[in-house]
């Protein structure tokens, strides 16, 4: 059973455009929702995270939007740059349980 | 600050052979994780340690996988005997917090295993 469903699988965005990646979760007990960024040959690195007590969190060009009633959260990358080309993973956890990751979205930002 | 160190970076073995991966977490991090990342998928937890004790190994295939964290610092993950479906990147991560959702996970670069 996949607890965190991520879409799309791949995404191509023009430089300067907005990249949007979506995640849906099933377990209403989840209380922590991070996004990780992974470059080829590297391990994932935390990009931004949110808790369900807020609907949005912004850090620079990266924004998480959270919809508790729909059990969905999304990552928005504003003014997308070629350097943002990577694989992005949403994840979720509850209490002190380990993170459960989505399958990933491969983002390509083209000039 | 030194990151999470893993070795070897790459390993190719025949099926039914054994392999071991080593991880040295960030200094002072009490929690250590091993994740398996199959090509095109997200990381899947294999085992979580808190100091030298196992917190969660519910998804570790214990008939062939074993892991230890002696002295609560570095850790070794072993596969014996390996199967074709074990081909993946094995990621080690560490955190300074007991609970994964109160602290950032820092990942190593991974050990890529190919089983022929």
Nearest CA-CA partner of A99 in A30, A43, A40: A30
Q: Do the chains contact at B110 and A43, CB–CB below 8 Å?
A: yes
Whether residue B101 and residue A45 make contact (CB cut-off 8 A), yes or no, is no
Nearest by CB: A42 against B45, B93, B109: B109
- In the numeric block, which tokens belong to residue A4? 């965190």
pLDDT at B96: 86
3-state secondary structure chain B: CCCCEEECCEEEECCCCCEEEEEECCCCCCEEEEEEECCCCCCEEEEEEECCEEEECCCCCCCCEEEECHHHCCEEEEECCCCHHHCEEEEEEEECCCCCCCCCCEECCCEEEEEC
Q: What pLDDT, on a 0 to 100 scale, did the predictor assign at position B104?
A: 85
Read off the pLDDT band of B98 (50, 70, 90).
low
Q: How confident is the model at residue B78 (pLDDT cuts 50, 70, 90)?
A: very high
On the question of pLDDT at B100 being above 60, the answer is: no
- The reply to whether omega before A8 is within 30° of 0 (cis) is yes
Inter-chain contacts counted by CB atoms under 8 A, chains A and B: 57
Chain A, 9-48: which have a CB under 8 Å from a chain B CB? 31-32, 41-46
pLDDT exceeds 70 at position B1 = no
> pLDDT value at position B20?
98
Is the predicted pLDDT of residue B103 greater than 90, yes or no? no
Block mean pLDDT (10 aa), chain A, length 111:
89 98 95 95 94 94 96 98 98 87 97 91
How does pLDDT run across B34-53, given as a tens digit for each residue? Answer: 999 999 999 999 999 998 89
């Amino acid at each position: 059973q996949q607890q965190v469903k991520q879409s799309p699988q791949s995404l191509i965005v023009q430089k300067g455009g907005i990249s949007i990646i979506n995640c849906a979760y099933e377990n209403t007990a989840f209380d922590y929702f991070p996004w990780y960024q992974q470059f080829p040959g590297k391990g994932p690195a935390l990009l931004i995270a949110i808790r369900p007590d807020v609907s949005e969190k912004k850090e620079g060009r990266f924004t998480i939007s959270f919809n508790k009633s729909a059990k969905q959260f999304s990552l928005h990358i504003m003014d997308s740059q070629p350097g943002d080309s990577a694989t992005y993973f949403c994840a979720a956890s509850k209490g002190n349980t380990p993170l459960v990751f989505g399958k990933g979205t491969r983002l390509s930002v083209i000039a | 600050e030194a990151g999470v160190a893993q070795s070897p970076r790459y390993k190719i073995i025949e099926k039914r052979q054994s392999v071991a991966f080593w991880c040295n977490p960030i200094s002072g991090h009490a929690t250590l994780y091993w994740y398996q990342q199959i090509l095109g998928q997200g990381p899947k937890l294999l085992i979580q340690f808190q100091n030298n004790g196992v917190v969660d190994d519910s998804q570790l295939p214990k008939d062939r996988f074993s892991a230890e964290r002696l002295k609560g610092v570095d850790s070794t993950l072993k596969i014996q005997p390996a199967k074709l479906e074990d081909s993946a990147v094995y990621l080690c991560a560490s955190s300074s917090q007991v609970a994964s959702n109160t602290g950032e996970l820092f990942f190593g670069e991974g050990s890529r295993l190919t089983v022929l």
